A and B are shown apart, each in its own frame.
Chain A
Amino acid sequence: MKLVLSVLLSAGMLLATGCSSHHGDQGAPGTDESKTLRIITWSDYIPQEIVDQFRQETGIQVEVSLSNNEEIISKLRATGGAGFDLAQPSQDRIISAQREFRIYRPIDLTKVKLDEFRADLLEIVKKNATYEGQLYALPYVWGTEGLLVNSKRASISDYLDLCRPDLKGKTSVRLRRPTLMAFALAIGKDPFALYGDPRAYSALMDEVGRTLIACKPNFRFFYDNKDQLINGVRSGEIVASMMWDSVSWKLNRENPDLKYINPKSGAIAWLDTMALPARGRNEAGAYKWINFTMRPDVAAKIARSIGNFTASKDADALMDPELKAQFAASFPDGMKNLKWYPAIPPGLEEIEGRVLDRIKAAN
């Protein structure tokens, strides 16, 4: 591990020094750099189908690297924002990363067809991803994290039900910050309201930590990726869990007993974005891609691949009717009672980290 880390770090350093001469190079037409677009994103976000379509329309080859929020920031940090032309972090993780590491460049709104975006989602990123007067991200896809339950074997309505004695050893959560947020909501507190007050937030997180430690015997495992949970649910080892809507709806298609519900305290709503890494080489291609993905026909294909709804305004009419029906069944009140993440101020993740470590260590 040590060796691997060293190698990664030194590779990062070499890149950081070796690429500094490229700083500001926007991928001039005619060079190879304008023919490839390197995107770091989540799995299923970019189906092969639209990669092929984009190449046919523009001649640009898209190279996809799969990742998650923390890795996107860590990788871009290691290279000072080089190595990728487009990144897809969540909207609440942008300002803090930008303030600390300067890994993105602002979006030039004159190059984007803004009227293709849903106005409400655009408002959210404008509120949470504007730093020093400039916008650093555009919305791509949104979804929620709520509860997945095998309705034949258990009946639950809120996050704390995962801690019920009759479900001992049959539930699961991720040992990540969304779980802390969800359980804070479940014990009747609003974590987002305390974002600006580190001391009160720290006290709340300690309380949430105690709740989760008391609940730990109920968790069979903490899942790190969705496949691990899918495995547990299919084998029947897990009967209820915190989960993303898209994965739950996918399981629901296989087995109608598996249902995705909006917890009483409210599902947590995330919004993943498109952001431009500070030292991307193909900025022109990135803007082409942004406009391409918001076209209703393309957005509908993306939505089908992810199983979530995208930020494209007019894609709704083209959406899969079954997905719409699943959404309506899980959210009878529509988009009411969703908790959207505000931007994370610096320092909070250290508080959360300490609590997460304690939960992990508790016996």
Chain B
Amino acid sequence: MLEATATAAWHRRLMLGLLLAPALLWLFALIVLPHLDLALLSFREPVAPRKYVPSLAQYRTFFAEPLYWHVFMRTAILSALATALTLLIAFPVAWTIAKLARGRMGALLFVVCLIPFWVSETVRTLGWMILLRESGVLPALLVRLGLTNGPVELLYHDATILVGLVYTSLLFMVVPLVGSLESLDNSLIEAAYDLGSGGFAILRKIVIPHAAPGITAGCIVVFMLTLGNYLTPTLLGGKNSLWFTEQIYTQFITRFNWEQGAAFGFLLLALSTAMVWFGLKLSGQRFSDVMRRT
């Protein structure tokens, strides 16, 4: 009898191991190993053809050249801004889906949010380019309406990059927000009204604290996606895009400087880790709670 239970337990463990094996193998072979390799790359310096010595030169270059710093900080700040804008736009949308829409309407609204993601990011971004370029749809419309004298170039500005980034990441904010807002009991809000509270106080004291894990989860996902985005800033930002991922690409592909590229990659990883940690501290959330919401 005892033996049978032991065998059963062993079987269960074996099953669990087998089920996890593909994921672990994937994680190890495609994420852990290459990162170890990149880490080693980032700590060496070429001194002669095919001769390398261990050194911190790649990281020194980053701190010594103001240009890289500038791009790094710019990417961080614009990403944070894009995340905040996404939250502002996504919150009313999520509220409508979770609380106001009845029955099928909620599902329908959700699908409307999802539809843009049926085409690839490249096509969506090129769509923006067709709309915004000087000979494009929107500048022509502005002229037709008499708002501008001649067609204006709407591409290649920071604001254009922000528009593209917010558009691309909206869904990733709406989903966790809807999840956390749906679980909010309507009677709490009604009770607050009965006790004479105003709309803003309810939002601040009831809705936001309840939705906090969802908000944090959405912000983390959107921030990471934005920080690591390559396509949107490059295409919409044009000659002034200056996104840090672009620097990494340039170092790897056009400069053949894998050592520098690897160092940049780790700096970006450090930045996103630091920002997530900071965000969690600021909102007083625990990582495990937040991750359950995503």
Contact = CB atoms under 8 A, between A and B. Distances in A.
Interface of A: 1-3, 5-7, 9-10, 13, 70-71, 73-74, 77, 97, 99-102, 169, 175-176, 216, 219-222, 235-237, 346, 349-350, 353-354, 357-358, 360-361, 363
Interface stretch (B7-15, B30-38, B171-179, B204-212): B30-38
Contacts of B68: 357
Contact of A77 (B29, B240, B256, B268): B256
Given A13-B37, A221-B156, A357-B67, A363 B265 contact: no
Given A219-B239, A221-B156, A358 B228 contact: no
Contacts of B188: none
Interface in B240-282: 240, 242, 245, 247-250, 252-257, 265, 268-269
Given A70-B256, A222-B238, A222-B239, A235 B31 contact: no
B49 interface: yes
Contact of B245 (A1, A346, A363): A1
Given A2-B265, A70-B256, A71-B253, A216 B38 contact: no
B95 interface: no
Given A6-B34, A74-B252, A101-B256, 9 more contacts: A1-B245, A2-B269, A6-B35, A7-B30, A10-B29, A99-B49, A237-B135, A353-B255, A357-B250
B238 A350 contact: no
Contacts of A237: 133-135
B240 A1 contact: no
A24 B31 CA distance: 31
Most chain B CB atoms below 10 A, which of A13, A73, A220: A220
A6 B26 CA distance: 12
- The 10 A-B pairs with the shortest beta carbon distances in the complex, nearest first, are A6-B34, A10-B34, A70-B254, A235-B135, A221-B238, A1-B245, A1-B230, A353-B255, A9-B34, A99-B49
A6 B38 contact: yes
Nearest to A13: B37
A221 B238 CA distance: 6
B6 to A, nearest CB: 40
Nearest to A12: B34
Contact of A346 (B49, B230, B254): B49
B70 interface: yes
A101 B49 CA distance: 8
B236 to A, nearest CB: 11
A282 to B, nearest CB: 26
Contacts of B71: 361
Contacts of A77: 256
A101 to B, nearest CB: 8
Given A5-B265, A10-B30, A10-B34, A358 B253 contact: no
B60 interface: no
A2 B67 contact: no
Contacts of B133: 235, 237
Interface in B42-86: 49-50, 65, 67-68, 70-71
B267 to A, nearest CB: 11
B238 A361 contact: no
A176 to B, nearest CB: 8
Contacts of A9: 34, 37-38
B239 A221 contact: yes
Nearest to A360: B242
A354 B254 CA distance: 12
A301 to B, nearest CB: 32
A169 to B, nearest CB: 8
Given A10-B29, A360-B242, A1 B37 contact: no
Interface string B109-149: 00000000000000000000000011100000000000000
Nearest to B237: A221
A101 B258 CA distance: 12
A358 to B, nearest CB: 6
B253 A74 contact: yes
Given A1-B228, A6-B30, A221-B156, A350 B255 contact: yes
Contacts of A222: 238-239
Nearest to A222: B239
Nearest to B65: A354
B271 to A, nearest CB: 12
A169 B152 CA distance: 11
A73 B256 contact: yes
A179 to B, nearest CB: 13
Interface in B197-248: 228-230, 238-240, 242, 245, 247-248
Contacts of A2: 228, 265, 268-269
A211 to B, nearest CB: 16
Contacts of B254: 70, 176, 353
B37 to A, nearest CB: 7
A360 B248 contact: no
Contacts of B50: 100-102
Contacts of A353: 250, 254-255, 257
B261 to A, nearest CB: 8
Nearest to A73: B256
B150 to A, nearest CB: 12
B100 to A, nearest CB: 37
B255 A13 contact: no
A100 B256 CA distance: 10
Nearest to B46: A100
26 contacts: A1-B230, A5-B34, A6-B34, A7-B34, A9-B38, A10-B33, A10-B37, A13-B33, A13-B37, A74-B252, A99-B49, A100-B256, A169-B153, A175-B239, A221-B238, A221-B239, A222-B238, A222-B239, A235-B134, A237-B135, A353-B250, A353-B254, A353-B255, A360-B239, A361-B70, A361-B71
